[in-house]
Every structure is written in C-alpha cells, then in structure tokens.
C-alpha cells in the first residue's frame, strides 16, 4: 500500500532505501546524530511503509534540514477507491460528518507549509488560493513529492461522493506554501518564513508536517508570535516511534497518530509535547495527477486536526487561540492511561465535541 512521505514525519536516510511512516522530516543537529540515526533505522524497519528521507548533514550545516519524503501511490489506485476498505474511516472516527451540520470551515484559510499542492486534483480544484514558493521566490507551488497534496487533502479536500475521502474542513480554503527544494529538503529558515507569510496572507491555521519541526526554538518563537495574531500552528509528533521531550510551545498543537482501533501505532512518536491525537494510519488521500494513495504517518494526523480547528474557527470566528486549543483538548476522547498521557496527549480529537466545547466556553462569562 502506499506510503507517503514527506514533510512530516517519515524519514528515510538518503541512500538507504529504508522506509518509514509518513512524515516529512527534519534532520537534527549533528549532536547525537549517530544515536538518532540508529534509532531511526530501527524505527524505520518497524514502521509503516512510508519512506522518509533524512539528509545526512553536510559539514558546516548548522540548521536542521527536513526532507519531504516521496509519496507513492498505492498499487491498484487505477482501479479506483473502491479497492480500498472504508476510505472514510478517519472522518467517521473524528466525527466530521456529524460536525458538518454545524460547520464546514467556510471562510477559514488553512496554510499548508509543505512540498506544494496539486491544484488540479478533483478533490482540490477551486479550493486553493494563490500560494508562494518560499525557496524559489515564485508562484510555482507544484507538488513534486506528493506529500503536500495528501496533507492538503486531509485538511480540506472537497466532499465528493464519487471520489476520494474528502477532508475535514470541506469548505475551507487552502494556501499552499512550498518550502522544499527539488530533492524535497527544506530548512528551519524557510519554514519560519512560510509561517509568517501564512499569517500575513490571512491564514488562521498553519500546518507544518515535518519531523522535529516542533522542537526547534525558531519555530517555537514563530508559533508564539502567530498565536498573538490569532493563528494556530499544527505539527506532527513524528514517526520515529520513540519518546521525545520537546516543549509544548505556545501556539503550537502537536499531533500524534491513532489507528483504526483508536490505538497507538508503534511508529508514532510520543512525549509530553503531544497535544492531541488523530487518525494517522492507512488514510486514503489525494495525490498529484488525480490519483489517491493509502498513506500513514503523523504528517497526515496533523492536518486532520488543522481541519477540525478550521471548523471551530468558522463556527466561532472570535474565539481566541487559547480558547480554541483548550476546547480541542478538553473535548478529546481520553485514550490509554486516564488523563493526558505521552502517547495520545489529551486524547483523540472529536470534531463535534470540540465544536460543542468551544461554544460552551464562549457562552460562559
Ligand atoms: Ca489518556
């Protein structure tokens, strides 16, 4: 089945044909590199079939670099999505169809900081606003790796009975901000610039599906600044399947993955930085060229939560970032150990419950 890779959390060492789950990845600084690399390789062999490309740091390369892994369409895609089991399971699990009677994300702009987005995909046609290529300083946001198209689809693909599985915020708009070069690499600097540009262009939710992105001080500072502008940044916990101790940054929502049984996939990175969790395993999502792929990774759990936030923002446009995040957490379905825990954060997100919790918090003086 397919695999996605890309930004969020699916690394593969370059040159090693190892595969992992679907997150775009940022390589860490050289410190502890060998340890991290070993942990990765172990995680990769265990994990979901998704390639991650991890760049081996060049000498003198101080900034971490992420690479969006190449997404690969699932075999059998050409036979159509009927070949897939329950293509909308993640939407049902999130309670999205029930929430749509109250909100569809209309009027909310979601920035997808990624490898670009295919604007001609049937599920994304007419949903994109003009984006920007942060690397080339151009308007070329062509998705050269497939990651960004899948991420955008998870957040906000159109509802269409005939094809695909739709996104969560089916009436929201997408702002594609491409931050990867020809080989799929990006940098902290490019990501931070894209975050600021997203806010400048009116986005209220910014999804950044790269591994380790939430652990970088510059990203945390940018997220805090965006929070003051009413913007929430959503990132994946990572696909290494290990514990990490990143700070839970202000303005940052970190998403771990759950599977079809609401359990923790072993490749989903955990730790105190996890805010909430959402489906991230075997999701049917759009790919460039009108195709679909079944993909796994926290890269895809993250935009599902971005979509839920867009539903909440459309329903309560005056809600603050703090109110939105609090409602998201308090309404999540508690899984695993009672209360917030490192695997699931506050729990698996429920769109309908989140809308109700937000409305209740807004009506309480
Ligand atoms: Ca729990």
Tell me the three-class secondary structure of 67-121, residue by residue. Answer: ECCCCECCCCHHHCHHHCCCCCHHHHHHCHHHHCCCCCCCCCEEEEEECCCCCCC
Phi, psi dihedrals of residue 205, rounded to the nearest 5°? -130, 135
Lowest mean pLDDT among 152-166, 172-186, 348-362: 152-166
Lowest mean pLDDT among 70-84, 103-117, 119-133, 253-267: 70-84
* H or E element that contains 323: helix 321-330
The pLDDT assigned to 71 comes to 52
Distance 346 CA to ligand 1 centre (A): 6
What single-letter DSSP state applies at residue 141?
-
Distance 333 CA to ligand 1 centre (A): 8
Q: pLDDT-based confidence at 314, cuts 50/70/90?
A: very high
CA torsion angle 13 18 23 27 (round to 10): -10
Other residues' Cβ atoms within 10 Å of the Cβ of residue 326:
16
Distance 52 CA to ligand 1 centre (A): 29
Please check the confidence at residue 33 and state whether its pLDDT lies above 90.
no
Collapsed DSSP state (helix, strand, coil) of residue 175: strand
Nearest to 312 by CA among 96, 69, 144: 96
Distance 215 CA to ligand 1 centre (A): 22
Distance 279 CA to ligand 1 centre (A): 15
Phi, psi dihedrals of residue 43, rounded to the nearest 5°? -65, -35
Distance 232 CA to ligand 1 centre (A): 23
Domains in the chain, start-ordered, CATH in brackets?
Answer: 15-363 (3.40.50.200)
- The first and second tokens of residue 59, run together, are 């000498």
Q: Is 265 exposed, middle or buried (0-12, 13-18, 19+ CB in 10 A)?
A: buried
Please check the confidence at residue 69 and state whether its pLDDT lies above 70.
no
Across residues 48-69, what is the average pLDDT? 37
Nearest to 264 by CA among 253, 272, 276, 256: 256
Collapsed DSSP state (helix, strand, coil) of residue 182: coil
Beta bridge partners of 128: 174
Percent of the chain at pLDDT exceeding 70: 75
CA distances from 3 to 9, 120, 358 (A): 12, 21, 35
- The first and second tokens of residue 3, run together, are 């695999």
User: Is 56 in the active site?
Assistant: no
Distance 277 CA to ligand 1 centre (A): 10
Q: What is the pTM of this model?
A: 0.83
- The first and second tokens of residue 220, run together, are 């945390």
* Interatomic CA distance for residues 237 and 305, integer angstroms: 12
CA torsion angle 318 321 322 325 (round to 10): 110
Q: Find out whether 23 and 52 touch, Cβ atoms under 8 Å.
A: yes
The pLDDT assigned to 17 comes to 25
Nearest to 319 by CA among 351, 354, 348, 349: 354
Where do we find the tokens 């001609």? 120
* Interatomic CA distance for residues 75 and 155, integer angstroms: 24
Distance 73 CA to ligand 1 centre (A): 34
Across residues 196-203, what is the average pLDDT? 98
Nearest to 323 by CA among 352, 365, 347, 357: 357
Distance 297 CA to ligand 1 centre (A): 20
- SS3 string, 225-255, reads HHHCCCCEEEEECCCCCCECCCCCCCCEEEE
The pLDDT assigned to 26 comes to 42
Q: Which of 4, 77, 114, 123 is catalytic?
A: 114
Give buried/exposed letters for 131-147 (b at 16+ CB in 10 A, else e).
Answer: bbbbbeeeeebebbbbb
Mean model confidence pLDDT for the chain: 81
Across residues 242-270, what is the average pLDDT? 93
User: Is 299 in the active site?
Assistant: yes
- Contacts of residue 77, defined as CB under 8 A and 6 or more positions apart, other chains included, come to 2, 83, 287, 291, 292, 293
- The first and second tokens of residue 22, run together, are 């679907």
Please check the confidence at residue 208 and state whether its pLDDT lies above 80.
yes
Q: Which of 171, 187, 296, 299 is catalytic?
A: 299
Q: Which of 147, 216, 264, 270 is catalytic?
A: 147
Please check the confidence at residue 2 and state whether its pLDDT lies above 90.
no
Across residues 212-224, what is the average pLDDT? 92
Distance 329 CA to ligand 1 centre (A): 11
Give buried/exposed letters for 183-210 (b at 16+ CB in 10 A, else e).
Answer: ebbbbbebbbbbbbbbbeeebbbbbbbb
Please check the confidence at residue 354 and state whether its pLDDT lies above 60.
yes
User: Is 147 in the active site?
Assistant: yes
Distance 355 CA to ligand 1 centre (A): 21
Distance 341 CA to ligand 1 centre (A): 5
């Amino acid at each position: 089945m397919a695999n996605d890779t890309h930004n969020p959390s699916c690394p593969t060492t370059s040159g090693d044909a190892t595969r992992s789950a679907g997150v775009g990845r940022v390589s860490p600084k050289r410190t502890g590199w060998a340890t991290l690399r070993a942990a990765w390789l172990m995680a990769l062999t265990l994990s979901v079939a998704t390639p991650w490309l991890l760049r081996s740091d060049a000498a003198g390369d101080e900034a971490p670099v992420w690479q969006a892994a190449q997404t690969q369409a699932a075999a059998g895609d050409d036979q159509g999505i009927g070949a897939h089991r329950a293509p909308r399971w993640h939407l049902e699990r999130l309670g999205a169809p029930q929430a749509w009677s109250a909100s569809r994300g209309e009027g909310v702009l979601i920035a997808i900081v990624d490898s670009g987005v295919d604007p001609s995909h049937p599920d994304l046609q007419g949903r994109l606003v003009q984006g920007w290529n942060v690397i080339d300083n151009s308007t070329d946001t062509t998705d050269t790796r497939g990651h960004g198209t899948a991420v955008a689809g998870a957040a906000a693909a159109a509802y269409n009975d005939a094809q695909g599985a739709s996104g969560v915020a089916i009436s929201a708009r997408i702002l594609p901000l491409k931050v990867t070069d020809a080989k799929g690499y990006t940098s902290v600097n490019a990501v931070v610039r894209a975050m600021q540009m997203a806010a400048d262009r009116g986005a209220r939710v910014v999804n950044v599906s790269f591994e380790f992105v939430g652990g970088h001080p510059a990203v945390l500072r940018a997220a805090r600044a965006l929070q003051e502008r009413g913007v929430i940044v959503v990132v994946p916990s990572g696909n290494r399947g290990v514990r990490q101790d990143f700070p839970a940054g202000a303005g940052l929502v970190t998403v771990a993955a759950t599977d079809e049984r609401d359990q923790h996939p072993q490749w989903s990175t955990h730790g105190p930085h996890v805010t909430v969790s959402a489906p991230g395993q075997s999701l049917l999502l759009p790919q460039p060229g009108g195709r679909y792929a079944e993909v796994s990774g926290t890269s895809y759990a993250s935009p599902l939560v971005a979509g839920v936030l867009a539903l909440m923002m459309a329903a309560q446009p005056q809600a603050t970032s703090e109110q939105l995040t609090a409602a998201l957490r308090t309404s999540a379905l508690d899984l695993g150990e009672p209360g917030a825990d490192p695997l699931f954060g506050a729990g698996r997100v429920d769109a309908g419950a989140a809308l109700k919790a937000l409305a209740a918090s807004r009506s309480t003086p």
